[in-house]
Amino acid sequence: MTDVRPTTDAESVLHTLFGSELGGHEQVVLCQDRETGLKAVIALHSTALGPALGGTRFHAYASEEEAVRDALNLSRGMSYKNALAGLEHGGGKAVIIGDPDTLKSEQLLLAYGRFVASLGGRYVTACDVGTYVRDMDVVARECRWTTGRSPENGGAGDSSVLTAFGVFQGMRAAARVQWGEPTLRGRRVGVAGVGKVGRYLVQHLIEDGAEVVVTDVKQAAVEAITEKFPQVTAVSDVDVLVRSPLDVYAPCALGGALDDETVAALTATVVCGAANNQLAHPGVEKDLADRGILYAPDYVVNAGGVIQVAEELKGFDFDRAKAKAEKIYDTTLAIFERAAADGIPPAAAADRLAEQRMAEARGTGTAGVPRQTRQ
């Protein structure tokens, strides 16, 4: 799924929200608490399948407009992700504007929790970049529609575990299509970003017999990986990584990883990673296909985390959640098969399947109603 295009003088964020085909969001809430410094955007893209579910990103955006665009992109991605994960949830996302290292406080998180609670269950939040299990424990003190909490507070803990597991399942499916076997044994995999999710993905790859190369903007993250797995190679940055001899490229940091320059430089013939919104603009998916690069749609393979937090609402059972995340392998294979049959890139095939499920749900009369209140 492609990103909402950046705004120009003639195309504002509001136009994207109300007039663009890439918008179509049901509700966008701007939140501010002057006392704590909270500035947040909560975007609900769709509640066709149920209450919107998606994490809270805490990031130092260059501008408020950039923050709104990111919330729109991410929430739309969650609608598609949740649809293909088979969840009874629509898509939503929130962003908090600011440097979490300096701005985040208990009072700010409590204020944010009150804003989420004011939506009455239309939005269920969780962790994302810049927020952690301990943060969700604080948010949950003001908002019962909070997942990603610690086990001692009734939650499932770190959702990165099943996110990485799901990405690995998608990568296995891509390996089966590209090389005939669902394994990464003997393949060289480049992982860009070895933080919350990437570090778990590296472990799956090592255990499967892959050769792993990593990079991260935080040297401490790289050192933690190479200390645990001395056989892992580290390179200086993403530019070096994508130009290295690779079989698989796994973007696991922020979005927009697949732009024109990166696609032209890639040596890998499979792209499968945990980052959201990897396609920098419309048309990148076709460029990948034209180069013979098999792209596993990001919102399909990174759905393990949202599967985990959705299960938390039912009374969490890790084995049950892992079994559902394992099905990402089958879903990814089905998308590759649909793409081949229709003569379209896998990203387009995934979009069609997700849109079909959302369209079928719109006539059920349960859109946006919290499950516990449905008849």
Which residues does the annotation mark as catalytic? 93
Q: How many other CB atoms are there within 10 angstroms of residue 301's CB atom?
A: 29
Q: Do 68 and 41 touch, CB atoms closer than 8 A?
A: yes
Distance CA 344, CA 113 (A): 42
Radius of gyration of the chain from its Cα atoms, rounded to whole angstroms: 19
Element (H, E) at 271: strand 270-271
Taking the C-alpha atoms of 104, 77, 262 and 193 in order, what is their torsion angle to the nearest 10 degrees? 40
CA-closest candidate to residue 159, choices 133, 130, 177, 185? 133
CA-closest candidate to residue 170, choices 93, 100, 81, 48? 81
Distance CA 278, CA 276 (A): 6
